[in-house]
Amino acid sequence: MSIQTTIKKPEDGSAYGDDFALWALHQAKLLKDGRFSELDIVNLVDEVQSLGTSQRSELESRLIRLIEHLLKYRHGRNREPSNSWRRTIREQRRRIDRHLRNNPGLRSDLSTVFEDVWQSGVYEALSSFEDYEAARIHLYESEMPEAPDFSVEDALDKDFFPFLAADEG
């Protein structure tokens, strides 16, 4: 059995809706061959825009998870899971760093994205506390800051692990 390596142009040009992978390969071949007049410009523009959006969404998702675990680390009264929280914090920092190296244009919006997703991070932290420490949820809700009380630079700093003021001695 051989693998077909020739990309055939769809007869009616409708592959975009029927077979995205075939459509994308065909568009790449047209670009590579310099056959620009044959490109599916409308759908190609949509897909390129979508790529940018998905990169920002990836950054948002990673920042939400980082904020969630930084808040859990700071506010969690049950310290048993704190090692797991630290691992997650370090992992998200590494993944965000790699994502920003691969998509340096996202750095210019980093502070704005951080502020935009702060409440989602708070929500995730509170949801976790509610699942595991429901009796204390009122305390957690009263402690959670409405707006970021540490910067995105702090959040991404490998040595930053926030504590409540009372814990800092």
Same domain, 23 and 103: no
Same domain, 154 and 74: yes
Distance CA 125, CA 92 (A): 15
Does residue 59 contact residue 96 with C-beta atoms inside 8 Å?
yes
Same domain, 31 and 91: no
Does residue 106 contact residue 99 with C-beta atoms inside 8 Å?
yes
Look up residue 92 and give its two tokens: 């998200």
Give me the chain's average pLDDT, please. 88
Same domain, 20 and 74: no
- The reply to whether 48 falls in a domain is no
Does residue 26 contact residue 15 with C-beta atoms inside 8 Å?
yes
- The reply to whether 153 falls in a domain is yes
- The reply to whether 22 falls in a domain is yes
Same domain, 71 and 147: yes
Same domain, 89 and 10: no
Same domain, 83 and 27: no
- What integer is the mean pLDDT of 130-148? 92
- The reply to whether 45 falls in a domain is no
Same domain, 119 and 143: yes
**What pLDDT is recorded for position 12?**
47
- The reply to whether 118 falls in a domain is yes
Domain range for 30: 1-39
CB burial of 43-69 (b: ≥16 within 10 Å; e: otherwise) equals bbeeeeeeeeeeeeebbebbbbbbbbb
Same domain, 139 and 161: yes
Same domain, 90 and 142: yes
Residue 73 has pLDDT above 60, yes or no: yes
As a whole number of angstroms, the longest Cα–Cα distance in the chain is 73
- What integer is the mean pLDDT of 92-111? 96
Between 53 and 164, name the one with better pLDDT. Answer: 53
pLDDT band at 65 (very low <50, low <70, confident <90, very high): very high
Same domain, 89 and 146: yes
Q: What is the pLDDT of residues 3-57, one digit of tens each?
A: 444 555 555 455 788 888 889 899 999 999 999 999 999 999 998 888 878 999 9
Number of structural domains (the chain) is 2
- What integer is the mean pLDDT of 119-127? 97
Distance CA 146, CA 125 (A): 13
Distance CA 1, CA 133 (A): 58
Same domain, 34 and 114: no
Own/partner pairs, 100-104, CB within 8 angstroms, 24+ separation: 100/59, 103/55, 103/59
